[in-house]
Chain A
Amino acid sequence: MFGILDQQFSWLNFTILALAAVALLLVVLLFVMYAIYFERKVIGWMQLRKGPNRTGPWGLFQTVADVLKLLIKEDVVPKKVDRFLFLIAPIISFTPSFMVIAAIPFTENLYFTDINVGLLYYGAISSLSITGILLGGWASNNKYSIMGGMRSVAQMISYEVPLIMSFLGIVLMTGSLNLRDIVHAQIDSGIWFIFPQFIGFVVFLIAGNAELNRTPFDLPEAENELVAGYFVEYSGFRFAFFMLTEYVYTFALSSLMVTLFLGGWDAPFGLTFIPPIVWFALKFLLLVFYLFWARATFPRVKIQQLMEFAWKGLIPVALFNVMLTAVLKTLGIF
């Protein structure tokens, strides 16, 4: 951020960075709260309901109250769990979700690090969360949670493959793994990658949806089969951590998608008088809205179908996309 990382270490710089991180954490928390609020409102409206409307004006404080309730709840640790793992699993799962945000450039100047392998960093770090989920599921010593944990792992590992392959096309086109370079490439060419990389975009959308464990791919928590999946034994703020992880990933993944496919902070149609951060937020909200919209519409797929779909459907398509991009690139079209 502002080149601090390139400077010599000093306590001042460290403090600035730490404060910035806390600020970001607050922003993310705020986002999570209002994302949940937004989700409940949107789904409510789609189901002819009003959604939260009783706490505060238009129910704006509903999720705040919910979070508060979760935080001050008694911290229940069941007797027969593997205590140590049970306690750290939510943390293991949450930390990476927050770490990945560091790599995302929100605007030209607002970003935390400018890593050259930003994409790789994202992919690598985000897969760490699975460990937390698996540990949580296993440590809970509950049959439902272990099944939920296993499902999660199977699902997330499977969908990571098409997810990463889907942006290989972009990497081929720009020749860089740096997220800022990718946005710049889009600004320079004047065309967002959603158009030349439409297949990649669709694959990313589906695989991302699955990575986030959201409907129609919310099997790990499939309430009606597994009660609540891997966090069935969790309550209070540990449960809140798992929830948080999920929504922070929603934040991170949607941001990544905006960066990769929707031109980041680039203003379309030359509407540059609107500040770039607003553009970023708008595109971002659009994607988040889609996720909620899908949740209001689709039933859940089955675990077997899910796996089949990843390996027999998405991965071949993603591979094809990579090949196509490579061929087109060699022919000089891109």
Chain B
Amino acid sequence: MGELRTEEMLLNVGPQHPSTHGVFRLVVKVDGETITECIPVIGYLHRGTEKLAEDLTYTQIIPYTDRLDYLASMLNNYALVQAVEELMDIKVPERAEYIRVIVMELNRIASHLVWWGTGLLDLGAISPFLFAFRDREYIVDMLNEISGGRLTYNYMRVGGVKWDAPAGWVDKVRKFVPYFREKIKEYHTLVTGNEIFVARVKGLGIYDAQTAIDYGLTGPNLRGSNFKYDLRKNAPYSIYDRFEFEIPTGETGDVYDRYMVRMEELEQSLNILEQAVASFPEEGEIMAKVPKVLRGPKDAEVYTRMEASKGELGVHIVSNGKDKPYRLKLRRPSFVNLQILPDILTGRSMADIPPIFGAIDIVLGEVDA
């Protein structure tokens, strides 16, 4: 039989495509269903946050950070205030630190839940999404109660937090922990053991730790390739050194491992929450003494980093003594993590786009800043 002549076809996946979650475009060259080349095109959501920040005072930048990774605004808030606090050498009161850790871990869980739900939705399983959002709703309600926002919290301030925890709030968190432990088990029943799911993600999108490091991957994407690296442990910030928790890692670095790492992280966040709630200080200040106008020192530079839900979120501030940064640079984990996509997609089939893409877990607000 003579060889069949096939033709390559250029396919635009996105920017408006159900599985790109936002405005992300992927130009793929396909031969049948096999991807021979792929180029991610980003920037549809670019708002120039870094440039805008040069014209904003430090307090004014905080609501802008909400809109980077809008699934984990608390963590973004923290990344910025942490940098400013370091710049100006501000010591944050203990109670504020506790509240911060609690809201950050809650938000991390919420962010992972969205990833879990939408990731599976992309694989055609429609129910997990609803279960994830039911439980996320509890978290969002709690965060709403403490900060007044459901998605964009604008909660942290340089030197502390905006509000104290309302009466009974900490108890709610306490009750949430065992509740959610049960739910994670349900998630595993519904999804993790499912043979179709396992068949679709095992052995897919493999890269080893060295490749991951070369690409600068962080967060679960790196830990999935069996590399124990988590800033909460490796370079503890806030009061993370007081809590005991594990850093889950995967073995082979495939999509399944990244999935398991994130699922395990949910548990670990619950552990942190449990400890933080148990040792929550009865009373105390929630704001440090800070000057009314926040002015950075002259000719100073800081770079701070923290473990956001997607990976290492770094903030670099150059200050020239004004109340506005001279330059703000954000190291956005989603953006960096996305770079490996062409590498692991090439040679796979069209049907592998959703799981591979989903396992990187990006948020376009953060990719495009």
Contact = CB atoms under 8 A, between A and B. Distances in A.
Q: Do A and B contact each other directly (Cβ–Cβ < 8 Å)?
A: yes
A225 B353 contact: yes
Interface in A144-191: 144, 147
Interface size bracket, A side: 20 to 34
Given A215-B124, A216-B196, A302 B130 contact: no
Contacts of A83: none
B9 to A, nearest CB: 6
Nearest to A226: B350
A299 B196 contact: yes
Given A43-B126, A216-B124, A225 B19 contact: yes
A299 B190 contact: no
A272 interface: no
A47 B123 CA distance: 17
Contact of A147 (B33, B200, B352): B33
A226 B130 CA distance: 22
B130 A224 contact: no
B121 interface: yes
B199 A298 contact: no
Contacts of B191: 299
B199 A300 contact: no
Contacts of A144: 11
Contact of B349 (A46, A301, A303): A303
Contacts of A73: none
A225 B19 CA distance: 7
B123 A299 contact: yes
A304 interface: yes
A13 interface: no
B133 to A, nearest CB: 10
A303 B124 CA distance: 13
Interface in B175-203: 190-191, 194, 196-197, 199-200
A303 B351 contact: yes
Q: Is the interface of A mostly helix, strand, loop or mixed?
A: helix
B127 interface: yes
A139 interface: no
Interface string B317-360: 00000000000000000000000000000000111111000000
Given A223-B18, A225-B351, A304-B349, A299 B200 contact: yes
Nearest to B350: A225
A298 B33 contact: no
Nearest to A47: B130
Contact of B194 (A46, A227, A299): A299
A300 B196 contact: yes
Question: A43, A226, A295, A305: which has the most chain B beta carbons within 10 Å?
Answer: A226
B18 A227 contact: yes
Contacts of A300: 123-125, 196, 200
Question: A46, A47, A302, A304: which has the most chain B beta carbons within 10 Å?
Answer: A302
A143 interface: yes
Contacts of B134: 48
B17 interface: yes
A299 B354 CA distance: 12
A216 B19 CA distance: 17
Contacts of B190: 297
A300 B127 CA distance: 12
B120 interface: yes
Given A296-B126, A302-B352, A143 B199 contact: no
A227 B126 contact: no
A222 interface: yes
Interface string B92-129: 00000000000000000000000000001111111100
B70 interface: no
Nearest to A301: B196
B351 to A, nearest CB: 4
Contact of A49 (B122, B130, B197, B353): B130
A48 B126 contact: no
A67 to B, nearest CB: 22
A36 to B, nearest CB: 15
Interface in A262-305: 295-305
B349 A302 contact: yes
A224 B354 contact: yes
B131 interface: yes
9 contacts: A47-B126, A48-B134, A225-B350, A297-B125, A298-B196, A302-B200, A302-B349, A303-B33, A304-B351
Interface of A: 43, 46-49, 143-144, 147, 215-216, 218-219, 222-227, 295-305
Interface of B: 9, 11, 17-19, 33, 120-127, 130-131, 134, 190-191, 194, 196-197, 199-200, 349-354
Q: Which 5 A-B pairs have the closest CB atoms?
A: A300-B124, A224-B19, A299-B125, A47-B130, A299-B123
